[in-house]
Amino acid sequence: MFEKLNILDEKDERLRKISQETTFPLTEEDKKLIKQAIDELTYSQIEEYATKYGLRPGMGLAFPQLGLNKRIIIIVHEVEEGVFDEYVFVNPKIVSYSEEMIAAEVGEGCLSVNRDVEGHVPRYARVTVEGYDIDGNKIKVRAREELSIAFQHEIDHLNGILFFDRINKNKPFFNENEIRLI
């Protein structure tokens, strides 16, 4: 039985708080929510299930979006049709990043933002993220392009930042000479 997560709306002030470091071991409730988030993010990217369960497509989720002040993010990245890589990071930190900047050409979306927001969000083209898996083992990933954007977006949630905070109000769109659009 699939049960949808209760994701906070952008108006909820809990999304603007800086999340607390998470301690180990994780609670059973945390592990259950992580599994539920992986299922929902996966289903949301498969049209048949997205339609069946009324899901908006999403590839990432941070615990603050569930009203929990914990530094935990989940990303489900479709690497080819129907094939997904799952990333669960506890206490993630970006430890290095490229000089090159990119932006999603169509802009970014967010499961907590139930409206279209126009504008490009400047992000690092490549990031290295360190953190811990659900068992407390140290993990590290080098992410590029779309996956790099997802990690930066979700880590922003842990710091009370929503993607539209990063859109330049005076110049919301870039051209190809200013930033690489993907």
29 labelled catalytic: no
- Pairing type for strands 72-80 and 83-97 reads antiparallel
What is the DSSP code string of 69-127? Answer: -B-EEEEEEEEETTEEEEEEEEEEEEEEE-S-EEE-TT---BTTB-S---S---EESEE
Distance CA 41, CA 59 (A): 6
Q: Exposure pattern of 10-43 as b/e (b: 16+ CB <10 Å)?
A: eeeeebeeebeebeeebeeebeebbebbbbbbbb
Which position among 28, 48, 154, 176 bears the catalytic label?
A: 154
| Active site positions, annotated | 154
